[in-house]
Structure 1
């Protein structure tokens, strides 16, 4: 396989790939790798140069959204199966279908958590979904490409998209109304501290979001589904990784990534697609919902709270 991007996220993939049976890293494309590349693995200055020099079975794209979609599509056109880190792009219009897109999948490793394959295979009747994200991200985290919406998107693109994409995948209908508030209180470049939103879908179901990156307590990213029969289904964990199982028995992030690699290769070889795979085309719907939130939200800034 070829890894495009050897920075913070690429390093996580290299760790997971080191223990992936049947997979070997045959090249890394990055003009200035930010992590150690395994000895003997060639480093290319760009993904285009790498694709000219080799024909990988799998390409893992771990670069910022500003370039991720272009790299993924180039790799798919070259015949590889492609796994691209979320969100791939912050622009839903950019996801208009192109030849080769069927070979591109978006990396949502928590969707491979225990029990979620059954949810995707036979979606329950959900009337309300609650996405909760509470983490601490200090100003140093929002540096480089994360500093601007144009290159990174907001908290919903970068932090809460795992739970939001999962909720929307289980709920039919388009977004009809949005009641949202976006708070910018710590001066994190263009990035907000907190987003709260209630989305009403054409099916009558609702999605409620409370996503914050200024939380002082233990980190959590969970999804609660309220079913029509009154039951509640909780997808739990630090980042949904426990799925429907016990938090103490949750698989590691490396194990979840390895499950993704296998699923993508199987799909590319014509085998039955794993129900947890997230095709590139399916990303457009959550991105459109996120756009609705940011476009229609009330924006709160320090001056507003001072005036109050």
Structure 2
């Protein structure tokens, strides 16, 4: 069994713990949070710690540490874990600064440990089917893509904790809410060459943007439109990803991008399309993405290979978001290297 520890017992840690409990070959050994109140539910079940380094020193058998602390602390904790020669699963975004993300990748390689970044939306059944079709070349020449996140995060959400909505620890709608959607955009369409964008803080009392819009050009020549907002009234409206090419138009949508809304592909009959839609609708969420990532890390350790979502994968949407924010601030077109 591969032994896991979770650091940072906030909301997202619950998904990690559930995934570890369900994952084949994984077992939860310890949890850590600087606030002892958050550890009470684990008393007598697993080892609990208020200091991560103490946890690592006292438990040399911990194989993997899942980092679930505020985003601005990811780089610092990743470095400590890597220096203790433990593998790492870090929540999104892997870092808020490019230099921090690059340092995380460097320190993991230097210490010969595996670094995985949590982008679970790749494992949604509808997204998997879309990726499969794109890899088969079913779209022909790509025209453009659209990535949309129209969600609600009211002021009470940001007021839950002092770090929410800050530039140092959290980031705005792009880094926090839209980054999974942008990861899908890059995973499906490939790297971005240039971006022109605007962003604003319209409705929430926070340091960062609560709405943003961007136009991008991919290295393959296709265009893309990005819209992200936490200002939608009164609740989440939609998350969608749409791809358009000379032989296909596909949109995956819903409140979260789990459902096929458009599936028009040359050579695919109406009967085949309806069968696929029924298949997706019968189980639109599939195995939880966090469980996929946990199980993949188990296998990556056993097989001594890279995780399915690497640090290099994790840095790509961070680079895109930072370019969008730079363009919004300067009013200029920004080129990505």
Question: Which bin holds the TM-score, normalised by the shorter protein?
Answer: 0.7 to 0.9
CA distance in 2, matches of 1:267, 1:237: 33
Please say if 1:136 is aligned against 2:152: yes
Question: How many angstroms does 1:198 deviate by?
Answer: 0.7
Question: CA separation of 1:99/1:189 partners in 2, compared to 1, >3 Å: closer, same or farther?
Answer: closer
Q: In 2 relative to 1, CA 177–85 (structure 1 residues): closer, same or farther, beyond 3 Å? A: closer
Equivalent residues in 2 for 1:243-262 (5 A)?
246-247=280-281, 249-251=283-285, 255-262=288-295
> Which of the numbers 244, 262, 286 marks the counterpart of 1:226?
244
3-state SS in 2 of match to 1:222: strand
Q: Secondary structure at the match of 1:147?
A: coil
Distance of 1:237 and 1:76 partners within structure 2: 38
Larger radius of gyration: 2
TM-score (norm 1): 0.84
- Of 188-197 and 113-122, deviating more is 113-122
Taking the aligned partners of 1:294 and 1:206, their CA distance within structure 2 comes to 18
Gaps of 5+ in 1: 300-308
2:189 matches 1:155: no
- Equivalent of 2:198 in 169, 172, 181: 181
Q: Does 1:64 align with 2:97?
A: no
**Alpha-carbon distance, 1:272 to partner:** 6.2
Q: How far 1:72 sits from its partner (Å)?
A: 2.6
- Quote the offset at 1:173 in angstroms: 4.1
Q: Is the 8 A contact 2:195 2:214 kept in 1?
A: no
Aligned residues: 294
- Measure, in 2, the Cα distance between the counterparts of 1:17 and 1:39: 18
Quick one: distance in 1 between partners of 2:231 and 2:126? 30
Q: In the TM superposition, what is the alpha-carbon distance from 1:25 to its structure 2 partner?
A: 1.4
- Tell me the C-alpha RMSD between the 2 structures: 2.7
The answer for unaligned runs of 5 or more in structure 2 is 261-275, 331-337
Alignment counterpart, residue 106 of structure 2, candidates 93, 98, 102: 98
Deviations 1:129-149 (A, max 9, x none): 211111111112113211311
1: CA distance, partners of 2:206 / 2:67: 26
1:264 is aligned to 2:297: yes
Superposition TM-score, scaled by structure 2 size: 0.78
Local SS of the residue matching 1:129: strand
Question: How far apart, CA to CA, are the structure 1 residues paired with 2:91 and 2:136?
Answer: 25
Match 1:16 to one of 11, 14, 19: 19
